[in-house]
Each structure stands twice: as structure tokens, then as C-alpha cells.
Amino acid sequence: MARGRSAGGGGRPVTLAMVAQRAGVSAQTVSNALNSPELLAGETLERVRRAIADLDYRPHQAARSLRTRSSRLIGYGVAPTPPSISTSVLDRFLHALSDSADLAGYRVLLFAAPVGADDEQERYDQLLRDHSVDAFVLSNTHRGDRRPGWLAKREIPFVAFGRSWAARDIGDWVDVDGAQGTADAVDHLVAAGHRKIGLLGWPRGSGVGDDRARGWREAMERHGLPVRGLRQAAEDDAKAAQLAVAPLLDGPGGVTAVVAVSDTLALGVYRALRERGRTPGADVAVVGFDDSPAAALLSPSLSSLHQPLEEVGRACTRLLVARLKDPRAAPQRLLLAPELVVRESSAPHPGSLADPPRDEPPHSRRDPHTPPPPDPPAVPDAHPPTANRTASE
């Protein structure tokens, strides 16, 4: 074990040539042992491997990169996110991404990505030319996002966190199945006895928001429940939500439950209820989206849809590695289901009639006597929402 020694940093670096000499072979053979081990005779390979281990040799990326024009680097543009109640997204996602990329032999290179600036692509181009990054991970994809098209045209590998909401779906992506999430919420609320379930969404036009709204609508229809007049919208702001939800609560036959497409909106619902002397959970059930850290801390604690961000990060790496291996393979899309975390805001009241007994839930997750979902989601080429299935088909 000479590891301790060489980990001692400061000294001269171990080069491929030194390994070659120690193993009694040429430099090229060592290179092959690393990059095309199948070319070597078993015995030679073993000898080289031992020499590498003995010297604790690590190939110098810059040299390798100079020759091969690839860097084992993945570019990730950090966009300035508006302070929202659920901004730990980057945190969790980025850590998972970086972690899994590490395991696959890649590293994540950060750069500041201007949101929708004109020279947006310029920054990607810079990274490409300065550091020869092998691929990009996009996040915060939005309608009319030009990045996927731009990258695809140049045949630069990338994976997006968030489907490309454009008409023509481009490239690989991983996304959280928002529709599935809100549908789960509806199922859960219906099982608890609710019939009038409102939706508090974002203004139409955002891909994510519309998707989550669709899940609610489809689930309602599947249960044979009406949706007319049960949908309101607000920007992602608690105050705006507080006002926007009013029609749902005050209407002639007010709702008994509200599904909000974000925790921030859900908080607005809380306030609107309090304003009316009513209690979230007890009087009107509320389900949020994102499962922000605050959700568990509110009182009553907020039921919410937890996004599997760690899994999204790992999936991005997986898809990216596959893409790098075979640039022309069919595009892969992966929809991961969020998980409904039930808390006080939607839990049946202790002792109430609606309390579903453990042994025989009144409604199973996918109600048997209602027709199956009409169509696979309107996402072309998308795998059905099976969650993390390992690879393509």
C-alpha cells in the first residue's frame, strides 16, 4: 500500500510513463489497460493494474482532454432561483447529480446561466470551448426554451430535468410526473370522502402548472366528479393565492378540499381559511406540492407531494452516461412519480367516519369500478409513468 505516500500531495506527479516502466511495458499498453482493457492479455493487464495501484497513479485529465477533446465534465448552469418556500430543489438535486456523476467518473462543472437572456447559448458555448465539457444538464426548462434545440442541432449530449414543453419533444429528459401527483392527491381525498375538490393552480401557460392541473382534472373525471368552477389560479405567491382561492371557499357549495400546485399556494389557502375562521385539515383539506421543508413544520402540518429529486439526479446521470456511450440511440424519457406525504392537513379526523380502516380502504389507489385512465399522458415518446425503470426498451 503506497497510497498513503502519494496522497501526500505536494510532490511530483505519477505519470503514465512511470507506471509503464514499473510494469515493464510501454506507455501505450498502460493507456490501453485503462481505456480498452479488452485488448490486453489477462496476465499483462493484471501486472499493469498492480503497478497502477502501487503507484496510486491517476491519469491527468488535462493531458487526456487535450488529445481526446473530452473532459469527463458535465456542465450545469445555475439559474438564480426566486426565493420560494421550496428552494431546496437545487440543493437536493445537485447533490444527487454530483454524487452519482462522481461514481460514473464524471464531474459537474457549474456556471452561471442567465435565465432567458439573448446570449444564453453563448455561455454554453464558452463552457464547451474552454473546458470541452462532454455534456450538459439543463434544469428549469420552460416553454419556448431554446436550449434543447440549440444543443441538439450541434449534437451536444444533454439531459434535461424537466421535459421540453415544446410541440416537438427534443432530447433526453427526466421529469417528475406532476399529473400523477395531483391525481394521487385527488384519489387520496376521494378516499377520505371528499367530493368537491378544488384546484389552486398557476396561470395557464406554464408547462409544469398545466401538467399538474391536468392530473387533477383527469382524476376528477375518472371518479365521475365535476370540475367546473373548481379551478382557480394565482402566481406562486402566498398573498395572491389567499385572494385567488376565495371563490372556491366562498362559493355556494364551497369545496371541502383544495389541491394546490405548490406549497406556497397551499399556504395561501391556509391563510384564507384562517381569515374565515376555519381550520385547515379539520374544515377543509389541503394538499400542497413539493414537500418543502416548511410543510412538515406548519400547523397543521401540510400534506404534500414529495418530489424524488435524488432519484431525478441519479437518473440524469444514468441517461447522460448512456447518451455519451451511444450518441445516436433513441431518446430516453423518464417520468418519476412524486410521493404523496399525508399529514394533518388532509388526514381524516381521528375517530371520524371518513377514517379509512387499514384492512379495507374504501377506494384503492386506482379505483376498480372506474374506467382506466383514458390515454397515456400526452407526452409523445414518454414511457408510461412507471417510475424508475432502469433503462430503455
Partner DNA sequence: GACGACGGTTGGATCGATCAAATAGCACCA
Partner DNA sequence: TGGTGCTATTTGATCGATCCAACCGTCGTC
Interface with DNA (CB under 7 A)? 13, 15-17, 24-32, 34-35, 39-41, 43-45, 57, 59-60, 63-64, 66-68
Burial class (CB in 10 A: 0-12, 13-18, 19+), 221: middle
Residue count of the chain, please give it. Answer: 393
C-beta of 120 vs 125, nearer to DNA: 125
27 binds, among DNA, its own copies, none (CB under 5 to 8 A by kind): DNA
Indicate which of DNA, its own copies, none lies near residue 388 (CB less than 5 to 8 Å, by partner kind): none
Closest CA to 320 of 334, 309, 307, 306: 334
Q: Which does 121 bind (CB under 5 to 8 A by kind): its own copies, DNA, none?
A: its own copies
Tell me, rounded to whole angstroms, the distance of Cα 273 from its chain centroid: 32
Nearer to DNA, 69 or 228 (CB): 69
CA atoms of 220 and 227, how far apart (whole Å): 7
Q: Which is nearer to DNA, 35 or 87 (CB)?
A: 35
Q: Least Å distance between CB 111 and DNA? A: 19
Provide the minimum distance between the beta carbon of 102 and DNA in the complex, in angstroms, as a whole number. Answer: 19
Rounded least distance, CB 219 to its own copies, Å = 28
What residue 132 binds from DNA, its own copies, none (CB within 5 to 8 A, per partner kind)? its own copies
Kindly list the residues in this chain that would bind its own copies in the complex (CB under 8 A): 7, 9-10, 13, 58-63, 65-66, 71, 73, 76, 78-81, 83-92, 94-95, 98-99, 102, 107-112, 121-122, 125-132, 154-156, 238, 264, 267, 270-271, 274, 292-294, 297, 299
62 vs 391 by CB, closer to DNA:
62
CB of 150 to DNA, least distance (A): 23
Q: Which entry of DNA, its own copies, none binds 31, CB below 5 to 8 A by partner kind?
A: DNA
The site partner of 208 among DNA, its own copies, none (C-beta below 5 to 8 Å per kind) is none
